[in-house]
Chain A
Amino acid sequence: GAGVSQTPSNKVTEKGKYVELRCDPISGHTALYWYRQSLGQGPEFLIYFQGTGAADDSGLPNDRFFAVRPEGSVSTLKIQRTERGDSAVYLCASSSSPSSYEQYFGPGTRLTVT
């Protein structure tokens, strides 16, 4: 079946601009996670949704980062006033439920801030 998809695959933006990154989870998966991965490092947790609500947003680095999941399926990660330090691969994962533990990842969006 279809896995997690993310769009765009690559995004180049200028410092100070606003970007939106989209994640389509596996159909029926209620839990959705956003991670950020810098070169040579493991993924870093950003935010976790259970259904439509953000159950844990403790990983968001500051208030320039925001994520929504209005209908409990597709999620959008929004970054305002981008900075060069925001450059990374943004990964999305979904899980059939919080208690299932197994997370399945999309291919990521590579964000480059110039």
Chain B
Amino acid sequence: GENVEQHPSTLSVQEGDSAVIKCTYSDSASNYFPWYKQELGKGPQLIIDIRSNVGEKKDQRIAVTLNKTAKHFSLHITETQPEDSAVYFCAASNYQLIWGAGTKLIIKP
């Protein structure tokens, strides 16, 4: 079955700098790759996703890249702000979401 690994587990960056979180997956049949942001005490919030027929997608300060050959995808956040502090999860799906273990992003003022 699918296995998703996510790195790093914790990431601390200075406000205004960029943050990059990386994930790898094992099942070549996976064709949908969402990223979720989870704040304390809340459910995961879908922030961006990418499908297997696309290599990159951007939405304002957030971008996701996908390398299907290498089976890895990454989340890029530019010009980080304090409200970006949260736990971020990647997932891979054929139809069932398989999740990474999460990255705690800390934005230092």
Contact = CB atoms under 8 A, between A and B. Distances in A.
A48 interface: yes
Interface stretch (A35-43, A62-70, A74-82): A35-43
Main secondary structure, interface of B, reads strand
Interface in A54-90: 56
Interface residues of B, number: 22
A106 interface: yes
B102 A101 contact: no
A23 to B, nearest CB: 11
A38 to B, nearest CB: 11
B61 interface: no
Contacts, number: 50
Interface residues of A, number: 21
Interface in B36-76: 36, 41-46, 49, 51
Given A101-B49, A107-B41, 6 more contacts: A40-B101, A56-B96, A91-B43, A98-B95, A105-B36, A105-B45
Interface in B69-109: 89, 91, 93, 95-102
